[in-house]
Amino acid sequence: MQGLGAAVADAIRLGYKELIQANEYFYRLSDKDLLALIVQVTGVEADNRAASLTLSCIKALKVFASFDATSVTEEEIQPPPNDYAQRPPGLPAPHSNNGHVGLNLSYTINLNLPATADQAVFNAIFRSLKEHLLSGNE
């Protein structure tokens, strides 16, 4: 099983595959040369903010990466089980309709009521809400 460093290195290789295609050992380049490679691959100007942020991101990730470690193979990658019976405790079961998983939506209504002592105003507001929002009619 691989360590965290190898996993980070694999993620860098995957995320920056255009850089690795241009230079297999791009992660060994100096900051200046790496920035030049980023500019070459992306086609942006050398003073472009995206290029400098890409360089910063790679530098930050390289601290955790171990490029000399063994890479993970396809056989070692196991997707998470797609079995509803193995879901974490407390997670509700998905709704199913004819074998299809349903989608539930909800919304929140914030109601600012007027400052009044007249009960008829409140009755009218809530009657209107019931008629238009809670009736199920579209």
Tens of pLDDT, residue by residue over 47-81, are 899 999 999 999 999 988 888 865 555 555 555 55
Tens of pLDDT, residue by residue over 38-47, are 999 988 888 8
- Which of 79, 68, 75, 80 is CA-nearest to residue 10? 68
Strands 96-97 and 100-101: antiparallel
Structure tokens at 94: 């998905």
Task: Please tell me the predicted confidence (pLDDT) of residue 46.
Answer: 85
For the cut 80, the answer to whether the pLDDT of residue 104 exceeds it is no
**Helix/strand/coil for 97:** strand
